[in-house]
Structure 1
Amino acid sequence: MTDRVTGKVVTPTGIIRQGCVEISGERITAVAEYPSIRDGNWIVPGFVDIHSHGGGGHSFTTGDADAARAAARFHLSHGSTTLLASLVSSPYELMHDATAAFAPLVKEGVLAGVHYEGPYLSEARCGAQNPEFLRDPSLDELGKLIEVGDGALRMVTIAPERPGALEVIRLLVSRGIVAAIGHSDATYDQTMAGIKAGATVATHLFNGMRAPHHREPGPVFALLGAAGVVCELVADGVHLHDGTLNFAATVGGADRSALVTDAMAAAGMPDGEYELGGQAVTVTNREARLSRDGAIAGSTLTMDAALRRAVSVGIGMPDATRMASTTPARAIGLGDHLGALIPGLRADLVELDENLQVLRVMRAGTWLP
């Protein structure tokens, strides 16, 4: 049976104002003009969030499978049809147990994979990461975790200046796992060495990094200027000034800029007291900050809100959609399967009203109830 979804269809090459997406089973079979349509809703590909710690009152960081299901379900309702579960810096035992617990969810398709944001990060740029758990990269430790995950581990964030970091980046790349650079105090040259070793993602560009300077450009200039690196951008108005968001997206382009949420459990929840990686977090006016020192501690963002923010700062709808779906899908090796409204790809769609609010979500050819 063929299903048809009509409206203003956003494709990687532009907008089909009178468009139609045809779906058979789990796949898109055709995307074409549909002249009889007038003033339809926006039809965009399902969002791909490659950096999220939880949402809806539930966290990925504790390694609880039921909580992970609930967090994924929350973000799915906001259009994120593909989601990585991001852990924070933790003891080996927690990383082991969380990876083992999430591996079945990856095989089931609830999660697209696991992301380790740490523990191989810089003490000087740890942000809301727990400094107690930071350590140098270990080939032995990571090798064991890769085996436990049995294909679940999809990305690891590393500070390239730490001893052993380049060897670990090479190991990750050899195993088909994305190496990301973040929470780093690296020099420009140290960052470039990490990129040369195979790193292809910048974890929340600008945040948790040495600030750029015209004589000491550091990681920001290296990552933003590297043709093979996709730069994560947290478009919540807290992590980045809107001018910075627009600047980075303009310099990197939509094919090298990925919107992410960096969401924590408080996304979609009231202000109050929460926890992230064993540290107390206070959420006030939707801003999440460590209770002890006020450092930004993730966000309360959802991907539909990130898309709205990107458009509001002047990024065109086709580019903003690529940044929310197509580019992050490609960044984690899934671009041949999902992330765009193209025949043959998985039928992940989000229907948005004129204000870019979510009306309904389709994943793998099925509308959410």
Structure 2
Amino acid sequence: MALTLEDVHIIDARGEQPASRIVLDNGHIFAVGPDVTPAGHRVALDGMLALPGFIELHTHGGGGFALHTTDPNEILAYARWVASTGTTAFLITVVGVPQALPIVQLHAAASAIAQTSQGAEPLGIHLEGPYLNPTRRGAHHPSWLRLPDPDDVRALLAAAQGQLRLVTLAPELPGAAAAITQFRDAGVTVSIGHTDASYEQARDAIAHGISHATHCFNAMPPLLHRAPGPLGAIIEAKHVTGELIVDGVHVHPAAARALLYALGAERTVAITDAQPIAGVAELRGFTFAGQPAEVRDGAARLADGTIAGSILTMDQALRNLVQTLELDLPTASRLLSLNPARVAGAAERKGIIAAGYDADIVLLDKGLCVQATFCRGRLAYVSEEWRERFPAEAAYATH
């Protein structure tokens, strides 16, 4: 069914188009512009903002749903819920398991990807571990960690059934160089993270195939004037992208601005690193892959106070980028949509609002609050205030 969004203020990484139209048809954007011919049902939006849907590159869940799970239905429920935050695509983050490989969790993630029909689209799997440095493990339990092994890597790739898009590892570990090659040859983006690497070790790893950095500043040595560490190497490597948790707790706003200056908007990816409790204000306690945790001092924490991720949602990330880091909306959109689409290998169809792209669109009011979200042309979320604007046949929204 064709649908025309009329009088929208379009914003994406390329700039702004006020008083414009977007024609959606068959899951794609058919036409964009102020003078395009409308088709199907016409919805007047009175100058509201239309941005490309947000893409979650690094999240452990939200809405009470965990992504590290043995139940594909939990991932499918997350996909339906997360559209309420303006998110239209995401990677399923899987972490380690005690004394073994997360084979069952990878199977569940691959199964969910094959079944998804409603809500945000899972673009693949992000495997955070098990090849992490114990010194910089953060909230990852020591029993989850392993040294890279070629047979293990083959088993992980097989369990992911071709859906592994991103893997985080510490390149200084014995056997890491061979693992980087194995993952890279399988088409997986390899990210440096949870690492105690020196500047020189990070440079060597980047030369060997690492092209991304997991939550810059967090779980890695700091940038010092005589010991620049991995951040120094990441900044210098012009092809390496870097994640930034923009909750204001993991990274001080001044440090976040410094990273933006150093990497530039083209190389920075805004992430939440959210836990299942994100977006559920009435809950305080939860588990991170079986470890008891709670919300304390604005973040998710283990019982000993270790930060275990955020309670951030992507719509709040947008507001933080604009209101705290003082980015303009096109730049914020780049960090939340186009850049993660590139890292996930989906930039040919997601990340901007253009003809031929997937109809992944978030509609926001002037206060940057989500009022409606389209995932592949279907209305996956709409606020009660806006529900009557859209024809029933446009939606599978349950919120």
Contact 1:42 1:354 in 2 (8 A): yes
Aligned mates of 1:219, 1:3 — CA distance in 2: 48
Please state whether the residue corresponding to 1:297 is helix, strand or coil: strand
Aligned mates of 1:245, 1:39 — CA distance in 2: 34
Q: Which residue among 103, 115, 121 is the counterpart of 2:126?
A: 115
1:183-198 alignment runs, 5 A limit: 183-198=194-209
Contact 1:28 1:346 in 2 (8 A): yes
1:55 equivalent to 2:62? Answer yes
Q: Which residue among 266, 279, 287 is the counterpart of 2:291?
A: 279
1:124 aligned partner: 135
Shift of 1:94: 5.6
Aligned mates of 1:311, 1:250 — CA distance in 2: 15
1:8 aligned partner: 9
Unaligned 5+ residue runs, structure 2?
Answer: 37-43, 381-396
Contact 2:123 2:344 in 1 (8 A): no
1:104 equivalent to 2:105? Answer no
1:89 equivalent to 2:60? Answer no
1:307 aligned partner: 318
Contact 2:3 2:25 in 1 (8 A): yes
Aligned mates of 1:154, 1:123 — CA distance in 2: 24
1:214-229 alignment runs, 5 A limit: 214-229=225-240
Q: Which amino acid aligns with 2:236?
A: G
Q: Which amino acid aligns with 1:67?
A: E
1:146-165 alignment runs, 5 A limit: 146-165=157-176
Greater CA drift, 192-201 or 182-191: 192-201
1:345-364 deviation per Cα after TM superposition (whole angstroms, max 9, x unaligned)? 11100001111110000011
Contact 2:130 2:146 in 1 (8 A): yes
1:182-201 deviation per Cα after TM superposition (whole angstroms, max 9, x unaligned)? 01110011111111111111
Q: Which amino acid aligns with 1:177?
A: V
Contact 2:13 2:352 in 1 (8 A): yes
Q: Which amino acid aligns with 2:16?
A: I
Q: Which residue among 369, 373, 378 is the counterpart of 1:366?
A: 378
Q: Which residue among 170, 180, 204 is the counterpart of 1:169?
A: 180
Contact 1:63 1:94 in 2 (8 A): no
2:86 aligned partner: 79
1:341 aligned partner: 353
Aligned mates of 2:298, 2:80 — CA distance in 1: 20
Moved over 4 A (4+): none
Aligned mates of 2:239, 2:142 — CA distance in 1: 30
Contact 1:173 1:179 in 2 (8 A): yes
Contact 1:54 1:72 in 2 (8 A): no
Shift of 1:272: 2.0
Q: Which amino acid aligns with 1:351?
A: L
Aligned mates of 1:41, 1:92 — CA distance in 2: 51
Q: Which amino acid aligns with 1:29?
A: F
Contact 1:258 1:328 in 2 (8 A): yes
Aligned mates of 1:352, 1:38 — CA distance in 2: 10
1:84-135 deviation per Cα after TM superposition (whole angstroms, max 9, x unaligned)? 1112222475610011112122223442111111110111111111122211
1:65 aligned partner: 72
Q: Which residue among 252, 259, 264 is the counterpart of 2:270?
A: 259
1:258-294 deviation per Cα after TM superposition (whole angstroms, max 9, x unaligned)? 11111111111234221112322121254211112x1
Q: Which amino acid aligns with 1:15?
A: E
1:25 aligned partner: 26
1:38-49 alignment runs, 5 A limit: 40-49=47-56
Q: TM-score, normalised by structure 2?
A: 0.88
Contact 2:94 2:106 in 1 (8 A): no
Contact 2:56 2:272 in 1 (8 A): yes
Please state whether the residue corresponding to 1:326 is helix, strand or coil: helix
Please state whether the residue corresponding to 1:112 is helix, strand or coil: strand
The structure-2 alpha-carbon separation of the partners of 1:5 and 1:247, relative to structure 1 and needing over 3 Å to count, comes to farther
The structure-2 alpha-carbon separation of the partners of 1:146 and 1:92, relative to structure 1 and needing over 3 Å to count, comes to farther
Contact 1:271 1:286 in 2 (8 A): no
The structure-2 alpha-carbon separation of the partners of 1:322 and 1:88, relative to structure 1 and needing over 3 Å to count, comes to same
Between the two proteins, what is the percent identity of the paired residues? 37
Contact 1:130 1:277 in 2 (8 A): no
The structure-2 alpha-carbon separation of the partners of 1:107 and 1:92, relative to structure 1 and needing over 3 Å to count, comes to farther
Aligned mates of 1:136, 1:322 — CA distance in 2: 35
Larger Rg: 2
Please state whether the residue corresponding to 1:67 is helix, strand or coil: helix
1:329 equivalent to 2:341? Answer yes
Aligned mates of 2:220, 2:85 — CA distance in 1: 29
The structure-2 alpha-carbon separation of the partners of 1:94 and 1:119, relative to structure 1 and needing over 3 Å to count, comes to closer
1:319 aligned partner: 331
The structure-2 alpha-carbon separation of the partners of 1:67 and 1:209, relative to structure 1 and needing over 3 Å to count, comes to same
Please state whether the residue corresponding to 1:106 is helix, strand or coil: helix
Q: TM-score, normalised by structure 1?
A: 0.95
2:190 aligned partner: 179
1:297 aligned partner: 308
Contact 2:101 2:156 in 1 (8 A): no
2:245 aligned partner: 234
Matched pairs, number: 368
